[in-house]
Structure 1
Amino acid sequence: MIPRHHDGLPGLFDRARALASTGTRRVLGIAGGPGSGKGTLAEKLLGELGSAAVVVPMDGFHLAEEELRRLGRRDRKGAPDTFDAEGYLALLRRIREGTGTVYAPRFHREVEESYAGAIPVDPDVPLVITEGNYLLLDDGPWAGVRSLLDEAWFLDQAQDELVSRLIERHVHHGRTRAHASEWVHRSDMRNAEIITPTRERADLLVTDF
């Protein structure tokens, strides 16, 4: 049975600090559905560990808007096949090698595009924190991600809380509330149905932080 975390942020800080103190490069994965707080938790860990960690979000591998339109997938943005999963895998492998500086892309939600070479991962950083929806998906190229993570946490949040957070996020980034609600129920929560079962591949379930 996968343990649930009940020690709040201090306990999570301790686990991350232990990973960063092994004397060799470690990769921590934070998975969960849309709106579960993956990015928030990753940034809190970064704030605590400082130069001992760097955050590399999976979202940097969103396919570009132009490519999504070409493929006819624009209305499903956020689904597993709307990311460059092979590119993400290749980056994780380079990160694990830990030789030389590796540059990762960063997704900018305000323009719905990723910028290449935006996040430097220097070879002397002991802990790389990567976060995203599909880190534990056991399907297609995504299935290769789990073996590249030294530890994987899954943010296990109630569905009604996710819906509320997601609608507010979309409104904040320019959608009308009606459009935000339609998108969340049609796209985000459909993706959440794919993501939730993957928690069985995590080392730790996190419900509060």
Structure 2
Amino acid sequence: MTFDDLLERAASLVRPGRRALLGITGSPGAGKTTLAERLVRRLNGAGPDWVAHVPMDGFHLADVELDRLGRRDRKGAPDTFDAAGYAALLRRLRENEDELVYAPGFERTLEQPLASAIPVPRTARLVITEGNYLLLRDAAWARARSQLDEVWFCELDEAERVRRLVDRHEEFGKDRDTAVAWVLGTDQRNADLIAATRDRADLVVGASVSEGGAPVPVPHAHRPRDRRSVR
């Protein structure tokens, strides 16, 4: 499968009269955000934008709440997110009744969620969301999954995934020993939980997918005026 195949598949999710939602999941450091951003960039091309990116990370509980709950040492685990809030946002995006919906973002340097950081206009016909727990069967996560047309599982060689994750933690402020301990402890427990959901995905995307240059048609029913393809 090539990257152009992924572009075609993502675009084909859009149907006349309704917005489509695509989920991308996978273990920490597997490349979910990178894949989502590549898809959005190529599908939108030169604009006008018809694809939006809404990460799940904006639903991290704030550190002050994690401290109150006694969960800060497990930050990133399923119960350190507002899963019900995330499911509610996906439902609102699916219904597409408002001219503009604001989604929360996540500031990695502060490691804190940011309210109303991502605007999603009604003209967005495809929303790509990515996060660790899109395929969990717990109640709130299952409600989130029910709003998604497809969920793709992003997979990377385990040694490379760990290396990238350690580097990321160091980039955002942890010293080497702390980064390694966190990756092999909290992150690995989460990764094992996520890996067990792989078989529930609609598609598994490996790191070998290459990005080609062929144009991808915009779904005809939602083709912007004077625009023939996405480049």
Q: With the length of structure 1 as denominator, give the TM-score of the two structures.
A: 0.94
Query: 1:85 matched to which residue of 2?
Result: 83
Paired with 2:145 and 2:84, the residues of 1 have a C-alpha distance of 13
Query: 1:156 matched to which residue of 2?
Result: 155
2:81 partner amino acid? F
Query: 1:108 matched to which residue of 2?
Result: 107
Question: Secondary structure of the equivalent of 1:153?
Answer: strand
Question: Secondary structure of the equivalent of 2:183?
Answer: helix
Unmatched 5+ stretches in structure 1 = 1-6
1:90 partner amino acid? A
Question: 1:99, CA displacement in angstroms?
Answer: 0.9
Q: How many residue pairs were aligned?
A: 203
Residue 187 of structure 2 is aligned to residue 188 of structure 1:
yes
Residues 28 and 128 of structure 1 are in contact (CA less than 8 Å); yes or no, is this contact kept in structure 2?
A: yes
Farther-moved stretch of structure 1 (62-71 vs 8-17): 8-17
Residues 171 and 180 of structure 1 are in contact (CA less than 8 Å); yes or no, is this contact kept in structure 2?
A: yes
Paired with 1:91 and 1:114, the residues of 2 have a C-alpha distance of 15
Unmatched 5+ stretches in structure 2 = 210-231
Q: Give 4+ residue runs of structure 1 displaced > 6 Å after superposition.
A: none
Residue 11 of structure 2 is aligned to residue 17 of structure 1:
yes
Question: 1:23, CA displacement in angstroms?
Answer: 4.8
Question: 1:151, CA displacement in angstroms?
Answer: 1.1
Query: 1:121 matched to which residue of 2?
Result: 120
When Rg is computed on C-alpha atoms for both structures, the one with the higher figure is 2
Q: What root-mean-square deviation, in Å, do the aligned CA atoms of Structure 1 and Structure 2 show?
A: 1.2
Residues 20 and 53 of structure 1 are in contact (CA less than 8 Å); yes or no, is this contact kept in structure 2?
A: no
Farther-moved stretch of structure 1 (190-199 vs 15-24): 15-24
Query: 1:29 matched to which residue of 2?
Result: 23
Paired with 1:8 and 1:108, the residues of 2 have a C-alpha distance of 32
Paired with 2:176 and 2:4, the residues of 1 have a C-alpha distance of 36
Residues 20 and 52 of structure 1 are in contact (CA less than 8 Å); yes or no, is this contact kept in structure 2?
A: no
Paired with 2:202 and 2:166, the residues of 1 have a C-alpha distance of 29
1:50-89 equivalence runs, <5 A: 50=44, 51-89=49-87
Question: 1:20, CA displacement in angstroms?
Answer: 3.8
Paired with 2:189 and 2:159, the residues of 1 have a C-alpha distance of 14
Question: 1:123, CA displacement in angstroms?
Answer: 1.3
Paired with 1:120 and 1:92, the residues of 2 have a C-alpha distance of 14
Residues 53 and 125 of structure 1 are in contact (CA less than 8 Å); yes or no, is this contact kept in structure 2?
A: yes
Identity of aligned residues (%): 55
Question: 1:197, CA displacement in angstroms?
Answer: 1.2
Query: 2:140 matched to which residue of 1?
Result: 141
Question: Secondary structure of the equivalent of 2:140?
Answer: helix
